[in-house]
Chain A
Amino acid sequence: GAVVSQHPSRVICKSGTSVKIECRSLDFQATTMFWYRQFPKQSLMLMATSNEGSKATYEQGVEKDKFLINHASLTLSTLTVTSAHPEDSSFYICSAWDRDYNEQFFGPGTRLTVL
């Protein structure tokens, strides 16, 4: 199957700072990538759909100005958590849609801790 990477795997930041998380499709081109959020002991919740070369589509309740998504190339999408607060601490997982398989492939996740 296709491989998706995320960087960093863990990040700790101070409240009020911004953090960028990268999601890369390593061996395929992904016109569409997705960002999910997972709180402890909970399921994955879709935050936004990222389309290459266009604006992301955010799920209801997700602040687009706080969670900035950029999908500048067919292999890279970034999620920037702006002015992070402790309540933004979570596990963020990205996925990339591979049209050859009609399937999303998931990255290993990024653990964000905001102090």
Chain B
Amino acid sequence: AQSVTQPDIHITVSEGASLELRCNYSYGATPYLFWYVQSPGQGLQLLLKYFSGDTLVQGIKGFEAEFKRSQSSFNLRKPSVHWSDAAEYFCAVGVNNNNDMRFGAGTRLTVKP
């Protein structure tokens, strides 16, 4: 079965600093890949997704992610973090045309002023 690993449970960065959140997946083929953000008490908001094509994907709020097949990774990046980016971030893998989705454990982002 596919799995998703987010190695970092909690990351703290200073406002204006760059950010990279790690995500690794385990699956026999290239799955569909997603990053979601969740603020406290809220639902999921899709930041970006990768289905095929260009391995560098641009998302909303200035986020981007790069699919690296050789590393089975789909890391999320942002060049300059804003205080409003503080939230929980989930990487997810979809297979079977996304009829089966699995989520990573999440990374909590804290932004220091």
Residues of A within 8 A of B (CB): 1, 32, 34, 41-46, 49, 93, 95, 97, 99, 102-104, 106-109, 111
B positions within 8 Å CB-CB of A: 32, 36, 41-44, 46, 49, 51, 90, 94, 97-99, 101-106, 108
Q: Residues of A contacting B105 with CB < 8 Å?
A: 42-43
Who on chain B is nearest to A105 by CB? B46
Give 10 pairs: A residue, B residue, CB < 8 Å, sorted on A: A42-B106, A43-B104, A43-B105, A44-B103, A45-B103, A46-B101, A49-B99, A104-B94, A106-B43, A107-B43
Q: A49-B99, A103-B32, A109-B44 are in contact. List 15 more A-B contacts (CB 8 A).
A: A41-B108, A42-B106, A43-B104, A46-B102, A93-B44, A97-B98, A99-B97, A102-B51, A102-B97, A103-B94, A103-B98, A106-B36, A106-B43, A106-B46, A109-B43
Q: How far, in angstroms, from A104 to B49 measured CA to CA in the complex?
A: 12
B106 touches A43 (CB 8 A): yes
A104–B99 Cα distance when bound, in Å, is: 7
Q: Which 8 A-B pairs have the closest CB atoms?
A: A108-B43, A109-B43, A102-B97, A44-B103, A43-B103, A106-B44, A43-B105, A43-B106
Using Cβ atoms and an 8 Å threshold, which residues of chain B touch A34? 101
A43-B90, A44-B90, A104-B94 given as contacts; is B42 within 8 A of A32 (CB)? no
Q: What is the CA–CA distance of A97 and B99 in the complex, to the nearest angstrom?
A: 7
Complex CA gap A66/B94 in Å reads 27
Among A44, A95, A97, A106, max chain B CB count under 10 A is at A44
- Residues of chain A with a CB closer than 8 A to B36's CB: 106
Q: CA–CA, A102 to B32, complex, Å?
A: 10
Q: Is B90 a contact of A109 with CB atoms below 8 Å?
A: no
Minimum Cβ distance to chain A for residue B77 (Å): 21
Most chain A C-beta atoms within 10 Å of own C-beta, residue among B42, B44, B106: B44
B98 near A93 (CB under 8 angstroms)? no
Q: Please report the C-alpha to C-alpha distance between residue A95 and residue B46 in the assembled complex, in whole angstroms.
A: 13
